[in-house]
Amino acid sequence: MPEAEALLVASDVHKIYRNGAETVALRGVNLTIRRRDFVALVGQSGSGKTTLLNLLGALDQATSGSISLDGRDYGRLSDDELAELRRQRIGFVFQFHYLLNEFTVLENALMPLIVGRGTPLREGRDYVLSLLDRVGMTPLLHKPATQLSGGQAQRVAVVRALVNKPSLILADEPTGNLDTDNGRQVFEIMRELNRDVGSAFVLVTHDDRLACQTDRLVRIQDGGIVQDVPTSELPNFECQAPAGQCPFQVMPESAKS
C-alpha cells in the first residue's frame, strides 16, 4: 500500500479508562485507513470498536500512541483545532440518528455547514439538496425531524455526515436500529456515496454479514486488532449467512464471480 494513499494512521494506540479500577479498552492498535476505503470494524460487544471509532473521530483522546488524519496529529491540536478538524474532515453516523428535533429535515442536513459558516453557501445548499434527493427525502424537506420514521431519519443522518464532503465518515452501527428493509437501504446509500463522493467509510458493526458487504474487514478483540483483510480474500463460508436469515446481499460482487 503506497504511503500517499493513507488518509488516517493510528499507531500503537492505547486507551485506558481509570474510574477507580483501570480498564484497558485498546492495547496497541495500529490501523491505516486509505482514501475511498469502505471498512467494517467488527467485534464482540465490549471489544473496543466504539472506543476506537471515538478516537479516530477526534472525540476522545488516546492514553498513548498517535492518530493523524491527512498528516495532522490529533495529539498536537488544540480543542478548537480538533473541532475544526471534525467540522471539515470527519462525518459521524450513529446507531440512533440523533437529528435535532427542533429543526426540519433540510435544516438538520445543513447543520454542519451552519456550524461552520453560520449560513451555508448556495453551492453547499445545492449539494445538500442533491444528496437528500438521492436518498429520497426531497418530498419531506420541510418536515420536522420528529415526524420522520427511523429509516428516513437515519438517511438524513447519513446525508448530514456527508455535507461537508469529509474525507472520513465514521459510522457506529448505522443500521443497528433499523428494520431489514431500511437497514439495507441505508447501507446501500452509504455504499453509493462512498463510490460517488469518495469519502472513506469506517463502519462499526457486530454483524459479520453486513461487514462482508464492505471492501475490508477489521476485527477487533479484547482491545487489539486480530484481523485486517480485504473481504474479497475472506473464505466464502465466513460471509455466507444461513439461507433466509441474511438481511443483506451477503456476498460481495467480487466474491460471487
Q: Which residues bind another protein (CB under 8 A)?
A: 50, 54, 57, 59-60, 79-80, 83-88, 92, 94, 96, 98, 100-103, 111-112, 114-116, 118-119, 160
Nearer to another protein by C-beta: 165 or 195?
165
Nearer to another protein by C-beta: 96 or 188?
96
Enumerate long-range contacts of 123-126, CB under 8 Å, 24 or more apart: 124/163
Distance, CA of 151 to chain centre: 17
Nearer to another protein by C-beta: 45 or 101?
101
Cα separations (Å) of 179 from 114, 142, 193, 247? 31, 25, 21, 9
- Shortest approach of another protein to residue 32 CB, angstroms? 23
42: cell is 467488527
- Shortest approach of another protein to residue 81 CB, angstroms? 10
Given the C-alpha cell 443522518, which residue does it identify? 157
Nearer to another protein by C-beta: 190 or 234?
190
- Shortest approach of another protein to residue 232 CB, angstroms? 32
Nearer to another protein by C-beta: 79 or 253?
79
- Shortest approach of another protein to residue 157 CB, angstroms? 9
State how far the Cα of 4 lies from the Cα of 242, in Å rounded to an integer.
Answer: 40
- Shortest approach of another protein to residue 95 CB, angstroms? 9
> CA nearest 177: which of 248, 97, 109?
97
8 Å CB contact between 138 and 109? no
